[in-house]
Chains A and B, each alone.
Chain A
């Protein structure tokens, strides 16, 4: 298969077209999973550990690129390996096993912004489940705006809405719908509110 440059991979991840995002993930998986698997399996881990670590690393990398929080000073290969190495070290620390890692790839020590917990807490899970109850269009608009960080113009085009003000109103309406659903939910009110 044809090699993609790092620049092209980043373009595909940043694209507003979902198939492009998927292509980039597929490519990264094919190219770099084996290396991370080798890292984990050679350092007290199993093949399943490798899959989890790699997918968590890919998710962190993907979110950083999409949310423009990535300052890449090395190749994507080195960066992904470094994220996964970092995650694997954390996992080993939790398991209280040997922290000496045998590396077979170059890596960078400091990776800012990946400390965020990958697993959602109970409150986040509840809110996530509410997203499925506000309708497909509303869910998409909110995710496009708050998570993908698309502009109103881009959202207008993706959702085939008539104008930016219409899009803005629709987004506001959807946000209020979600707020009502979440904050008036008894489980949230009684157990999960800070």
Chain B
């Protein structure tokens, strides 16, 4: 093999970065130099092995995602309780306890009243089929739906300790902590999602942070998050943020 031939040239060839005359010249060199040909074959084998390694990594990630992501058909099969139940139950409760509600509201401070009106746990979207951690996540989801916040949160946290990048689970963990009254931990989860500028969950995290600050009567922080949502018509909770801000201004 020609001594002057650098690994850099071999890399460029293997990664398909040689073109035209340069590529042809290199191919001629390979054809006329058996040692070079052998070295290229060896390195091609290494690349194939590296690709196989990476593929396995991605497939493992996809398996994890499978456990976290909502699958419409699963919902239809009834494996995940559709989140619309929250709305139905909430509607029934509103009708049933309306007289009592009026009485309580009469004595409730404004921020408590607004918090109670606007806080709704996010509709649950977690898949149930997974090879690695199906049971824990499914159980956490069941506790979440039943609003058994502490139990849900324990299981979400266990899952997060193994899958720290599962931001969707982080969101549900934060909401569970809100439900159980652990506001400091809830804020930590939502802020992590915001720091990541997560494209899917940042709006949700912002909305729940606003509600947390409302609950704690920190109205300036609350409004700060609401205003971001209000400014962006595409944002999740845009309309909610607008109306809550209006209510606060009144």
Could you tell me which A residues sit within 8 Å of B by CB distance? 1-4, 8, 12, 18-19, 22-23, 25-27, 29-30, 33-34, 37-38, 41, 47, 51, 55, 58-59, 62-63, 118, 120, 123-128, 130-131, 142-143, 145-147, 149, 172, 175, 178-179, 182-183, 194
A22 to B235, CA, bound (A): 21
Could you list 7 examples of A-B contacts with CB < 8 Å? Answer: A4-B199, A25-B58, A38-B73, A55-B62, A128-B53, A147-B51, A179-B46
A125–B52 CB distance below 8 A: yes
A128–B52 CB distance below 8 A: yes
**A187 CB, nearest partner CB in chain B, Å:** 13
B54–A147 CB distance below 8 A: yes
Contact with A along B109-141 (1 / 0, CB 8 A): 000000000000000010001000000000000
B45–A123 CB distance below 8 A: yes
Q: B61: which A residues are within 8 A, CB to CB?
A: 22, 25
- What total of chain B residues lie within 8 Å of the partner, measured CB to CB? 46
A59–B59 CB distance below 8 A: yes
B52–A62 CB distance below 8 A: no
A106 to B22, CA, bound (A): 41
Q: Summarize B's interface: helix, strand, loop or mixed.
A: helix
B250 at the A interface (CB under 8 A): no
A23–B199 CB distance below 8 A: yes
Known: A2-B234, A51-B129, A175-B7. A59 touches B55 (CB 8 A): yes
For the complex of A and B, 8 pairs with smallest distance between CB atoms? A127-B49, A120-B52, A128-B53, A124-B52, A34-B72, A29-B69, A55-B62, A128-B52
A29–B66 CB distance below 8 A: yes
Q: B69: which A residues are within 8 A, CB to CB?
A: 26, 29-30, 33
**B47 CB, nearest partner CB in chain A, Å:** 5
